[in-house]
Amino acid sequence: MNVHLDAERKRILDAFLDTGRPPEPSELWPQLAQARWIVLDEQGRLRMAHPFSAVETDFVVATSGKIWFANCFWDALAVSAMVLQRLAQPTAILTHCGYSRQPLRVEIGPDGPPPGPELIHFAVPLRDWWNDIVFT
- Which of the two residues, 116 and 30, has the higher pLDDT score? 30
Tens digits of residue pLDDT in 77-128: 999 999 999 989 999 999 998 889 999 999 999 998 889 887 787 888 888 8
Residue 136 burial (C-beta neighbours within 10 Å; 0-12, 13-18, 19+): middle
The confidence score (pLDDT) of residue 122 equals 81
Would the pTM of this model clear 0.85, i.e. be above it? yes
Distance of CA 85 to the CA centre of its chain: 15
Mean pLDDT over each residue of the chain, to the nearest integer: 92
The confidence score (pLDDT) of residue 1 equals 59
Q: Which of 15-24, 48-57, 90-99, 124-133 has the lowest mean pLDDT?
A: 124-133
